[in-house]
Structure 1
């Protein structure tokens, strides 16, 4: 099993959710986060003054999937999050040792 973590633009969330639902993965965890990568923040203007916003709002999407489905989930997220501009985000893939459904006690892929 794999845990796929994607940190993406806030405005791309609906597109990504729809893309995941279309490939059969409607379940996910979504967290609002802040941070910056290579862009190191933005310069904004407010009432004629410039100020630097160092931590940019992003969305973190987490999906745990079977090994065979991981690549199609990554492809769906990549295609729907892409704008071609700096700040599109990152995807991290981690191994999952065990998954357990609390209600039924199912384990492994059956728990997903």
Structure 2
């Protein structure tokens, strides 16, 4: 992923840290690597809704992503240019819809 990454420790946070990092990365074009994703949660790592958010962000901006797997505790995200358009993502639960919808204002 290169040397110009912002390194983020996600141990203390939950999914909000990840979603914020994804949004800011897409807006600024700055790549990041996050480790310890949801590290202090009873089920650490990426859950289905977090993985959907990562994949949605990657599709919207053509990002290169490393580590985007269920239960992964680390990802790398290098955004490309945001592409306007209509997007559809299968989230799985209604409660998670608003979490992914966060990317709508960007696209």
Q: TM-score, normalised by structure 1?
A: 0.26
Higher relative contact order (CA 8 A, sep 6+): 1
More strand, by proportion: 1
Return the structure number with greater helix share: 2
Q: Computing the radius of gyration over CA atoms, which structure comes out larger, 1 or 2?
A: 1
